[in-house]
Amino acid sequence: MKAIILAGGIGTRLRPLSCTRPKLLFPILNKPLLDWTFERLAETGVDGVTLAVKYMAEVFMQRYGESTHGMKLSYSKEKKPMRTGGAIKYAEEFIGHEEPFLVLNGDIFSTIDYTALLKKHKESNAVATIALYRVEDPSRYGTVKLTENSQVTQFIEKAPLGQAPSNLINAGVYVLDPKIFNYIPAGQPVSIEHEVFPKLAKEGKLFGHEFKEIWIDIGKPADYLRANRILLDAEPKKRFLGKDVNVEEGAQISDPVRVDAGVNVGQNSRIGPYAVIGRDVVLGRNVTLENSVVFPEATISDNASVRGAVIGEGTTIGRGAEISEGCVIGDYVTIRDNVTISRDVTVCPSKEVTENVPEHKRII
């Protein structure tokens, strides 16, 4: 079986961290999101994956090459943004017309059983079968009206609050029959959600499959932090310390935590709960770090505190600095000593912050 991963998005809502890496390479428990997806596809028996790419396409090509996890990789590189349907059509030459194939939105983390989704697709003789997930607020997503035999009779993309046909949302994972290519005009941007799925629903050729495993849309910084938190809770091993991690005298670690190789935790520091620390990070003495993700090679100096934030690669947090809930600090930023950054502040890559930031703003 083959699969397409839609990987061309810019990740605007994840800036400033997406300014320097594709969002599919954001680490989840210190492993890129895309690696998690590749692992699960390989376990399902997928033997060929096409990455539909545009933004930072070369980064994917350099990292993964022509194969990964025992699967052959190909790259469908768009010359202009083609939207979801256009990207699928653009990858037609790599997929062929022999059998149904998987399509995944690349910025989704899920433990859905792909085999069960494929089984439902084959049983219903559908052109498209959508994985469906139940949420409290469906207004950010496409929603469906479903019959008892799982046929989708109505598909509405991002209905206003209170007007959605159900709380079952499009989870961004599909099985498509090659007939889908007949519904997508070539050479132009097409939204499969706005233009193709509603048409299939009217024709009775769109079906759904509800699942209840883990599903997280990593579209915003808060969602990204939540994904790491959920996975920390799901992991049977609540404390993982990588190779050559040094924890100095008096440091306290509160589970769950995930600490990558080469990290140094200074004296009397308090780490966790819900701390994910990338490789070669240096934490000074009496540091407080909780409910946060720290990318590789960052430094958090003596007496600094980081709560509910994301700290970019190679960034330096000065002595006694405070980074508050909801902050996203880009790569290679310098926060000077004793600077306080208030809630929900974002700092773009390579900036230097020398004075307190008392209100929500973006430093560019």
Alpha carbon separation from 341 to 13, 48, 361 (Å, rounded)? 20, 46, 10
In angstroms, the CA 328 to CA 175 distance is 35
Establish how many alpha carbons lie within 13 A of residue 141's alpha carbon, considering only the half-sphere containing its beta carbon. Answer: 25
Q: Enter the tokens of residue 198.
A: 């509603």
- Whole-angstrom distance, CA of residue 331 vs CA of residue 313: 5
3-class DSSP assignment, residue 83: helix
The yes-or-no answer on residue 158 being catalytic is: yes
What CA–CA distance (Å, rounded) separates 319 from 302? 5
Taking the C-alpha atoms of residue 190 and residue 159, their distance in angstroms, rounded to an integer, is: 19
Give 143-149's long-range contacts (Cβ < 8 A, gap of 24+).
143/167, 143/168, 143/169, 143/170, 144/168, 144/169, 144/170, 144/201, 144/208, 146/208, 146/210, 149/124
Among the options 72, 77, 119, 158, which is catalytic? Answer: 158
Just list the catalytic residues. Answer: 158
